[in-house]
Amino acid sequence: MLKDLINIYKYKSVRACAETFAYLLREKYGLFLDGKIVVPLPTISKHIRERGFDHMALLAKRIAYVCGGKCEKVLKRVGNTVQVGADEMARKKQALGAYSVTNRVNFDAQYVLIDDVWTTGSSMMAACSELQKTGVEKISVVLLAKSE
């Protein structure tokens, strides 16, 4: 059912799913997310145009709102590589250099990176690495699902 909801959200552009996901994550991680800076893993611009919205930015905003955190887009996507359908080695190679830090970061803050699906972890690890390069030490991740 979660897989179906994620697909409806991403590929059918049903924005109301973001609210459902936010409340599900609040049930599981509510106190953990309280007061944290929620950071969406950036979506490539091609997918934003195709879907009509940035599904990760909307999800991060909703999570921050319902969990008492703050949403900040401190990462941007560099390039437009598509990972769907790529094998593990290709995903790892594509993820290297796929993100950069766009805004000033607060070194005392606790950042929580949000992504919808963990397939190999390459994207999330690359995004975490970029934040760490700036000196951020308190980084956690939250995911909706792990790929089969």
Residue 80: exposed, middle, or buried by beta-carbon count in 10 A (0-12, 13-18, 19+)? exposed
Cα gap 71→18, rounded to integer Å: 14
Residue-averaged pLDDT of the chain: 88
State the pLDDT at residue 144.
93
For the segment 75-125, what is each residue's pLDDT rounded down to a tens digit? 998 876 655 555 666 666 666 778 889 878 898 899 999 999 998 888 899
Cα gap 138→61, rounded to integer Å: 20
Residues in the chain: 148
Extract the runs of DSSP E, i.e. beta strands, from the chain: 37-40, 70-71, 75-77, 99-101, 111-118, 139-146
State the pLDDT at residue 94.
66
- What average pLDDT score do residues 34-63 get? 94
State the pLDDT at residue 66.
94
- What average pLDDT score do residues 52-70 get? 95
State the pLDDT at residue 42.
92
Q: Provide the residue type at 36 as one letter.
A: K
The closest alpha carbon to 108, from 80, 136, 145, belongs to 136
State the pLDDT at residue 80.
63
State the pLDDT at residue 89.
66
State the pLDDT at residue 123.
87
Structure tokens at 29: 């991680």
Confidence of residue 61 (pLDDT cuts 50, 70, 90): very high
Predicted confidence (pLDDT) at residue 50 exceeds the cutoff of 70:
yes
CATH of domain 2-146: 3.40.50
